[in-house]
Protein backbone atom coordinates (compact mmCIF):
# COMPACT_ATOMS: atom_id res chain seq x y z
CA UNK A 1 0.00 0.00 0.00
CA UNK A 2 1.57 3.31 -0.98
CA UNK A 3 0.54 6.85 -0.02
CA UNK A 4 -1.47 7.45 -3.21
CA UNK A 5 -5.17 8.18 -2.80
CA UNK A 6 -7.52 5.28 -3.35
CA UNK A 7 -10.75 5.31 -5.35
CA UNK A 8 -12.79 6.65 -2.43
CA UNK A 9 -10.39 9.53 -1.82
CA UNK A 10 -10.30 10.33 -5.53
CA UNK A 11 -14.08 10.52 -5.60
CA UNK A 12 -14.15 12.67 -2.46
CA UNK A 13 -11.76 15.08 -4.20
CA UNK A 14 -14.25 15.39 -7.06
CA UNK A 15 -17.04 16.00 -4.54
CA UNK A 16 -15.14 19.01 -3.20
CA UNK A 17 -16.61 20.85 -6.19
CA UNK A 18 -19.93 20.78 -4.34
CA UNK A 19 -20.78 23.47 -1.76
CA UNK A 20 -19.95 22.56 1.83
CA UNK A 21 -23.56 22.66 3.06
CA UNK A 22 -24.46 20.11 0.40
CA UNK A 23 -21.48 17.87 1.17
CA UNK A 24 -22.34 17.95 4.87
CA UNK A 25 -25.72 16.55 3.92
CA UNK A 26 -25.03 14.16 1.08
CA UNK A 27 -21.31 13.31 0.79
CA UNK A 28 -21.27 10.06 2.78
CA UNK A 29 -24.36 8.85 0.96
CA UNK A 30 -22.88 9.72 -2.44
CA UNK A 31 -19.59 7.98 -1.63
CA UNK A 32 -21.44 4.86 -0.44
CA UNK A 33 -23.59 4.78 -3.60
CA UNK A 34 -20.54 5.40 -5.80
CA UNK A 35 -18.50 2.59 -4.21
CA UNK A 36 -21.49 0.23 -4.34
CA UNK A 37 -21.28 0.58 -8.11
CA UNK A 38 -17.60 -0.43 -8.18
CA UNK A 39 -17.07 -3.02 -5.48
CA UNK A 40 -17.99 -6.66 -6.01
CA UNK A 41 -17.47 -8.11 -2.52
CA UNK A 42 -14.37 -10.07 -3.66
CA UNK A 43 -11.54 -8.73 -1.42
CA UNK A 44 -8.76 -9.21 -4.01
CA UNK A 45 -10.68 -7.67 -6.87
CA UNK A 46 -11.94 -4.83 -4.68
CA UNK A 47 -8.43 -4.11 -3.45
CA UNK A 48 -7.21 -3.69 -7.05
CA UNK A 49 -10.25 -1.56 -7.90
CA UNK A 50 -9.69 0.72 -4.91
CA UNK A 51 -6.01 1.15 -5.71
CA UNK A 52 -6.06 1.64 -9.46
CA UNK A 53 -9.48 2.78 -10.63
CA UNK A 54 -10.61 6.36 -10.95
CA UNK A 55 -14.02 8.02 -11.20
CA UNK A 56 -15.10 7.94 -14.86
CA UNK A 57 -15.34 11.09 -16.94
CA UNK A 58 -19.14 10.75 -16.95
CA UNK A 59 -19.20 10.59 -13.13
CA UNK A 60 -17.03 13.71 -12.91
CA UNK A 61 -19.21 15.56 -15.45
CA UNK A 62 -22.34 14.68 -13.45
CA UNK A 63 -20.77 16.13 -10.29
CA UNK A 64 -19.66 19.27 -12.20
CA UNK A 65 -23.24 19.71 -13.45
CA UNK A 66 -24.61 19.32 -9.93
CA UNK A 67 -21.99 21.74 -8.56
CA UNK A 68 -22.88 24.36 -11.20
CA UNK A 69 -26.59 24.10 -10.32
CA UNK A 70 -25.90 24.36 -6.58
CA UNK A 71 -23.28 27.10 -6.66
CA UNK A 72 -25.29 29.18 -9.13
CA UNK A 73 -28.36 28.60 -7.00
CA UNK A 74 -31.98 29.20 -7.83
CA UNK A 75 -35.15 29.29 -5.79
CA UNK A 76 -34.69 27.61 -2.41
CA UNK A 77 -30.86 27.79 -2.47
CA UNK A 78 -28.93 29.26 0.48
CA UNK A 79 -28.65 33.02 0.28
CA UNK A 80 -25.03 33.31 -0.88
CA UNK A 81 -25.48 30.72 -3.65
CA UNK A 82 -28.76 32.27 -4.73
CA UNK A 83 -27.01 35.66 -4.89
CA UNK A 84 -24.24 34.19 -7.06
CA UNK A 85 -26.80 32.50 -9.29
CA UNK A 86 -28.81 35.67 -9.75
CA UNK A 87 -25.70 37.79 -10.30
CA UNK A 88 -24.36 35.41 -12.97
CA UNK A 89 -27.78 35.26 -14.67
CA UNK A 90 -28.02 39.06 -14.67
CA UNK A 91 -24.45 39.42 -15.92
CA UNK A 92 -25.10 36.96 -18.76
CA UNK A 93 -28.20 38.95 -19.69
CA UNK A 94 -26.11 42.14 -19.56
CA UNK A 95 -23.53 40.72 -21.99
CA UNK A 96 -26.30 39.31 -24.20
CA UNK A 97 -27.94 42.74 -24.17
CA UNK A 98 -24.69 44.29 -25.43
CA UNK A 99 -24.49 41.63 -28.16
CA UNK A 100 -28.15 42.21 -29.06
CA UNK A 101 -27.57 45.98 -29.36
CA UNK A 102 -24.77 45.22 -31.80
CA UNK A 103 -27.14 42.86 -33.65
CA UNK A 104 -29.72 45.63 -33.80
CA UNK A 105 -27.07 47.82 -35.44
CA UNK A 106 -26.44 45.06 -37.99
CA UNK A 107 -30.19 44.86 -38.63
CA UNK A 108 -30.24 48.61 -39.29
CA UNK A 109 -27.49 48.12 -41.88
CA UNK A 110 -29.52 45.32 -43.45
CA UNK A 111 -32.54 47.64 -43.57
CA UNK A 112 -30.32 50.20 -45.27
CA UNK A 113 -29.32 47.66 -47.92
CA UNK A 114 -33.03 47.15 -48.62
CA UNK A 115 -33.45 50.96 -48.93
CA UNK A 116 -35.56 51.08 -45.76
CA UNK A 117 -33.26 53.55 -43.99
CA UNK A 118 -31.69 56.11 -46.25
CA UNK A 119 -28.88 57.68 -44.31
CA UNK A 120 -26.97 54.63 -43.08
CA UNK A 121 -23.94 53.35 -45.02
CA UNK A 122 -24.61 50.16 -47.00
CA UNK A 123 -23.30 46.90 -45.53
CA UNK A 124 -20.28 45.14 -46.98
CA UNK A 125 -21.15 42.04 -49.02
CA UNK A 126 -19.51 38.60 -49.13
CA UNK A 127 -19.76 35.39 -47.08
CA UNK A 128 -17.73 36.41 -44.00
CA UNK A 129 -19.31 39.88 -43.55
CA UNK A 130 -22.73 38.29 -43.99
CA UNK A 131 -21.84 35.63 -41.42
CA UNK A 132 -20.92 38.48 -39.08
CA UNK A 133 -24.38 40.05 -39.62
CA UNK A 134 -26.03 36.65 -39.02
CA UNK A 135 -24.11 36.35 -35.74
CA UNK A 136 -25.47 39.74 -34.73
CA UNK A 137 -29.07 38.76 -35.49
CA UNK A 138 -28.61 35.44 -33.68
CA UNK A 139 -27.47 37.22 -30.50
CA UNK A 140 -30.80 39.07 -30.47
CA UNK A 141 -32.60 35.72 -30.60
CA UNK A 142 -30.39 34.33 -27.79
CA UNK A 143 -31.18 37.37 -25.63
CA UNK A 144 -34.93 37.10 -26.24
CA UNK A 145 -34.91 33.29 -25.73
CA UNK A 146 -33.30 33.78 -22.30
CA UNK A 147 -35.95 36.35 -21.38
CA UNK A 148 -38.69 33.95 -22.53
CA UNK A 149 -37.07 31.21 -20.39
CA UNK A 150 -36.47 29.06 -23.48
CA UNK A 151 -33.05 28.17 -22.11
CA UNK A 152 -32.43 25.21 -24.39
CA UNK A 153 -32.89 27.30 -27.56
CA UNK A 154 -30.69 30.03 -26.08
CA UNK A 155 -27.89 27.56 -25.26
CA UNK A 156 -27.96 25.72 -28.59
CA UNK A 157 -28.01 28.96 -30.55
CA UNK A 158 -25.24 30.46 -28.39
CA UNK A 159 -23.03 27.43 -29.10
CA UNK A 160 -23.65 27.85 -32.86
CA UNK A 161 -22.97 31.59 -32.69
CA UNK A 162 -19.73 31.17 -30.75
CA UNK A 163 -18.70 28.42 -33.19
CA UNK A 164 -19.37 30.78 -36.12
CA UNK A 165 -17.42 33.54 -34.39
CA UNK A 166 -14.46 31.21 -33.81
CA UNK A 167 -14.59 30.20 -37.50
CA UNK A 168 -14.66 33.86 -38.50
CA UNK A 169 -11.63 34.79 -36.38
CA UNK A 170 -9.78 31.68 -37.55
CA UNK A 171 -10.50 32.61 -41.18
CA UNK A 172 -9.13 36.13 -40.62
CA UNK A 173 -6.04 34.74 -38.94
CA UNK A 174 -5.37 32.27 -41.77
CA UNK A 175 -5.97 35.04 -44.32
CA UNK A 176 -3.51 37.26 -42.46
CA UNK A 177 -6.07 40.04 -42.00
CA UNK A 178 -6.25 39.80 -38.21
CA UNK A 179 -4.74 43.00 -36.80
CA UNK A 180 -4.22 41.60 -33.31
CA UNK A 181 -4.72 37.82 -32.85
CA UNK A 182 -4.33 38.09 -29.08
CA UNK A 183 -7.06 40.73 -28.83
CA UNK A 184 -9.46 38.94 -31.17
CA UNK A 185 -9.12 35.55 -29.51
CA UNK A 186 -9.41 37.35 -26.18
CA UNK A 187 -12.73 38.87 -27.26
CA UNK A 188 -14.00 35.42 -28.22
CA UNK A 189 -13.00 34.03 -24.82
CA UNK A 190 -14.26 36.93 -22.67
CA UNK A 191 -17.45 38.12 -24.34
CA UNK A 192 -18.52 34.99 -26.22
CA UNK A 193 -17.26 31.80 -24.60
CA UNK A 194 -17.41 32.81 -20.93
CA UNK A 195 -21.03 34.10 -21.07
CA UNK A 196 -22.01 31.02 -23.08
CA UNK A 197 -20.62 28.74 -20.36
CA UNK A 198 -22.20 30.91 -17.67
CA UNK A 199 -25.60 30.14 -19.21
CA UNK A 200 -25.40 27.03 -16.99
CA UNK A 201 -26.88 29.36 -14.35
CA UNK A 202 -30.17 29.29 -16.27
CA UNK A 203 -31.31 25.94 -14.92
CA UNK A 204 -34.74 24.73 -13.88
CA UNK A 205 -34.49 26.25 -10.39
CA UNK A 206 -33.69 29.70 -11.78
CA UNK A 207 -36.48 32.15 -10.94
CA UNK A 208 -38.25 33.87 -13.87
CA UNK A 209 -36.52 36.92 -15.31
CA UNK A 210 -38.25 40.32 -15.14
CA UNK A 211 -38.60 40.70 -18.89
CA UNK A 212 -39.87 44.24 -19.35
CA UNK A 213 -36.84 46.18 -18.04
CA UNK A 214 -34.48 44.05 -20.12
CA UNK A 215 -36.66 44.34 -23.23
CA UNK A 216 -36.85 48.12 -22.82
CA UNK A 217 -33.09 48.31 -22.27
CA UNK A 218 -32.46 47.00 -25.81
CA UNK A 219 -34.08 49.87 -27.79
CA UNK A 220 -33.07 52.37 -25.09
CA UNK A 221 -29.37 51.48 -25.41
CA UNK A 222 -29.59 51.53 -29.20
CA UNK A 223 -31.44 54.85 -29.40
CA UNK A 224 -29.59 56.68 -26.61
CA UNK A 225 -26.06 55.37 -27.19
CA UNK A 226 -25.56 53.50 -30.46
CA UNK A 227 -27.43 55.89 -32.77
CA UNK A 228 -25.79 59.10 -31.45
CA UNK A 229 -22.40 57.35 -31.72
CA UNK A 230 -23.19 56.31 -35.30
CA UNK A 231 -24.28 59.85 -36.10
CA UNK A 232 -21.06 61.25 -34.60
CA UNK A 233 -18.97 58.82 -36.63
CA UNK A 234 -20.79 59.58 -39.89
CA UNK A 235 -20.62 63.33 -39.36
CA UNK A 236 -16.85 63.29 -38.91
CA UNK A 237 -16.79 63.67 -35.13
CA UNK A 238 -15.48 60.17 -34.48
CA UNK A 239 -12.32 61.47 -32.80
CA UNK A 240 -14.53 62.20 -29.79
CA UNK A 241 -16.18 58.80 -29.77
CA UNK A 242 -14.69 56.04 -27.59
CA UNK A 243 -14.42 52.61 -29.17
CA UNK A 244 -16.84 49.81 -28.20
CA UNK A 245 -14.80 48.67 -25.18
CA UNK A 246 -14.43 52.28 -24.01
CA UNK A 247 -18.15 52.95 -24.39
CA UNK A 248 -18.94 49.81 -22.37
CA UNK A 249 -16.53 50.94 -19.61
CA UNK A 250 -18.09 54.40 -19.40
CA UNK A 251 -21.67 53.15 -19.62
CA UNK A 252 -21.06 50.57 -16.89
CA UNK A 253 -19.29 53.16 -14.73
CA UNK A 254 -22.36 55.42 -14.97
CA UNK A 255 -24.67 52.51 -14.03
CA UNK A 256 -22.38 51.65 -11.06
CA UNK A 257 -22.50 55.24 -9.79
CA UNK A 258 -26.30 55.41 -10.08
CA UNK A 259 -26.58 52.10 -8.24
CA UNK A 260 -24.11 53.22 -5.57
CA UNK A 261 -26.17 56.36 -4.91
CA UNK A 262 -29.24 54.15 -4.43
CA UNK A 263 -27.39 51.76 -2.12
CA UNK A 264 -25.71 54.47 -0.04
CA UNK A 265 -28.88 56.53 0.26
CA UNK A 266 -30.28 53.92 2.61
CA UNK A 267 -32.16 51.72 0.16
CA UNK A 268 -29.89 48.70 0.04
CA UNK A 269 -31.31 45.59 -1.55
CA UNK A 270 -29.98 42.07 -1.44
CA UNK A 271 -26.60 43.02 -2.86
CA UNK A 272 -27.34 40.93 -5.96
CA UNK A 273 -27.19 43.89 -8.35
CA UNK A 274 -23.91 45.07 -6.85
CA UNK A 275 -22.50 41.57 -7.40
CA UNK A 276 -23.88 41.66 -10.95
CA UNK A 277 -22.13 44.98 -11.63
CA UNK A 278 -18.92 43.55 -10.18
CA UNK A 279 -19.09 40.61 -12.60
CA UNK A 280 -19.92 42.88 -15.54
CA UNK A 281 -17.05 45.17 -14.57
CA UNK A 282 -14.68 42.17 -14.59
CA UNK A 283 -15.83 41.19 -18.10
CA UNK A 284 -15.76 44.78 -19.38
CA UNK A 285 -12.40 45.52 -17.74
CA UNK A 286 -10.89 42.42 -19.34
CA UNK A 287 -12.44 43.39 -22.67
CA UNK A 288 -10.80 46.84 -22.40
CA UNK A 289 -7.50 45.39 -21.19
CA UNK A 290 -7.06 42.87 -24.02
CA UNK A 291 -7.89 45.53 -26.61
CA UNK A 292 -5.18 47.91 -25.36
CA UNK A 293 -2.34 46.29 -27.38
CA UNK A 294 -4.17 47.39 -30.56
CA UNK A 295 -3.34 50.97 -29.48
CA UNK A 296 0.37 50.20 -29.12
CA UNK A 297 1.24 52.60 -31.96
CA UNK A 298 -0.85 55.44 -30.54
CA UNK A 299 0.13 56.60 -27.03
CA UNK A 300 -2.84 59.00 -26.89
CA UNK A 301 -5.39 56.22 -27.46
CA UNK A 302 -3.49 54.02 -25.02
CA UNK A 303 -3.83 56.70 -22.34
CA UNK A 304 -7.54 57.09 -23.13
CA UNK A 305 -8.01 53.33 -22.78
CA UNK A 306 -6.21 53.30 -19.42
CA UNK A 307 -8.30 56.26 -18.25
CA UNK A 308 -11.47 54.34 -19.15
CA UNK A 309 -10.23 51.39 -17.13
CA UNK A 310 -9.48 53.68 -14.17
CA UNK A 311 -12.94 55.29 -14.35
CA UNK A 312 -14.54 51.85 -14.36
CA UNK A 313 -12.40 50.65 -11.43
CA UNK A 314 -13.28 53.71 -9.31
CA UNK A 315 -16.98 53.45 -10.12
CA UNK A 316 -17.18 49.73 -9.38
CA UNK A 317 -15.33 50.19 -6.08
CA UNK A 318 -18.38 52.08 -4.80
CA UNK A 319 -20.57 48.98 -5.04
CA UNK A 320 -18.06 46.45 -3.67
CA UNK A 321 -19.19 46.70 0.02
CA UNK A 322 -22.79 46.02 -1.00
CA UNK A 323 -21.69 43.09 -3.17
CA UNK A 324 -19.79 41.61 -0.21
CA UNK A 325 -22.96 41.89 1.86
CA UNK A 326 -24.73 39.49 -0.50
CA UNK A 327 -22.29 36.79 0.58
CA UNK A 328 -23.07 36.92 4.28
CA UNK A 329 -25.55 34.83 6.31
CA UNK A 330 -25.65 31.61 4.34
CA UNK A 331 -28.90 30.09 5.50
CA UNK A 332 -29.73 26.47 4.72
CA UNK A 333 -33.04 26.05 2.92
CA UNK A 334 -35.88 23.83 4.02
CA UNK A 335 -35.56 20.36 2.67
CA UNK A 336 -31.90 20.03 3.60
CA UNK A 337 -32.66 20.59 7.28
CA UNK A 338 -35.46 18.05 7.17
CA UNK A 339 -33.12 15.35 5.89
CA UNK A 340 -30.46 15.86 8.53
Partner 1 sequence: MTGQAFFVLTALADGPRHGYGIVREVVELSQGRVKLKIGSLYGVLDRLSADGLIEPDHEEAHDGRLRRYYRLTAGGRRALAEEADLRAASAHVVRARLGLTGPEAAGAAG
Instruction: Kindly state whether residue 330 participates in binding partner 1, applying the rule CB under 8 A.
Output: no
Residues in the chain: 340
Render 70-104 in DSSP notation, one character per residue. Answer: HHS--TTS-HHHHHHHHHHHHHHHHHHHHHHHHHH
Instruction: Map the footprint of partner 1 across residues 146-165, applying CB under 8 A.
Output: none
Task: Determine, following the binding rule CB under 8 A, whether residue 31 of this chain makes contact with partner 1.
Answer: yes
Name the residue among 297, 300, 194, 283 with its Cα closest to residue 245: 283
Q: Does 126 bind partner 1 (CB under 8 A)?
A: no
- 137 in contact with partner 1 (CB under 8 A): no
Minimal CA–CA distance to 5: which of 53, 57, 68?
53
Using CA atoms, how far residue 2 sits from 6, 25, 51, 52, 199, in Å, is 10, 31, 9, 12, 42
Query: How many angstroms separate the CA atoms of 201 and 112, rounded?
Result: 37
According to the binding rule CB under 8 A, does residue 39 interact with partner 1?
Answer: yes
Candidate list 9, 13, 20, 28; residue touching partner 1; CB under 8 A: 28
Least Å distance, CB 4 to partner 1, is: 21
Q: Which of 3, 4, 37, 267 binds partner 1 (CB under 8 A)?
A: 37
| Between 10 and 112, CB nearer to partner 1 | 10
CA gap 245, 305 in Å, rounded = 9
Range in contact with partner 1 (rule: CB under 8 A) among 31-39, 222-230, 232-240, 287-295: 31-39
Which has the closest alpha carbon to 71: 13, 15, 12, 18? 18
Q: Is 223 left (phi over 0), alpha (psi -120 to 50) or beta?
A: alpha
Segment 97-116, which members bind partner 1 (CB under 8 A)? none
Task: Quote the least distance from Cβ 202 to partner 1, whole Å.
Answer: 16
Q: How many CB atoms lie within 10 A of CB 97?
A: 20
How many residues bind partner 1 (CB under 8 A)? The answer is: 30
Contact of 19 with 79, CB cutoff 8 Å: no
3-state secondary structure of 234: helix
Site for partner 1 in 202-221 (CB under 8 A): 205
CB of 92 to partner 1, least distance (A): 21
Instruction: Using the rule CB under 8 A, give the single segment among 28-36, 115-123, 143-151, 190-198 that binds partner 1.
Output: 28-36
User: Taking contact as CB under 8 A, which single stretch among the options 26-34, 149-157, 194-202, 237-245 is the one that binds partner 1?
Assistant: 26-34
Of 5, 6, 10, 35, which one interacts with partner 1 (CB under 8 A)? Answer: 35
CA gap 18, 35 in Å, rounded: 18
Query: Min. distance of Cβ 141 from partner 1 in angstroms?
Result: 26
Position 22 contacts partner 1 (CB under 8 A): yes
Q: Rule CB under 8 A: say whether 44 interacts with partner 1.
A: no
252 near partner 1, judged by CB under 8 A: no
Residue 339, interface with partner 1 (CB under 8 A)?
yes
Counting contacts by CB under 8 A, is residue 337 touching partner 1? no
Nearest Cα to Cα of residue 222 among 194, 253, 247, 191: 247
Residues that bind partner 1 (CB under 8 A): 22, 26, 28-37, 39, 58-59, 61-66, 69, 76, 205, 333-336, 338-339
Amino acid sequence: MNGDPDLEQRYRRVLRLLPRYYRDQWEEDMVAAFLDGWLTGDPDEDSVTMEYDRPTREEIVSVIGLAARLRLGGTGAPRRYFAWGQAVRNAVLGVMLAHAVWGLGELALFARSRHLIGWLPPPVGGFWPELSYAIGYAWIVVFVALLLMDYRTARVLAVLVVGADVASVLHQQLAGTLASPLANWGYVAVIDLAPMLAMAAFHRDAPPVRRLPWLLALPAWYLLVSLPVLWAELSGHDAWVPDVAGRCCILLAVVCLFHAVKVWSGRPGTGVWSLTLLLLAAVTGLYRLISLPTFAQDPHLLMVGLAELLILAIAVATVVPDAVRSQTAATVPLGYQELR
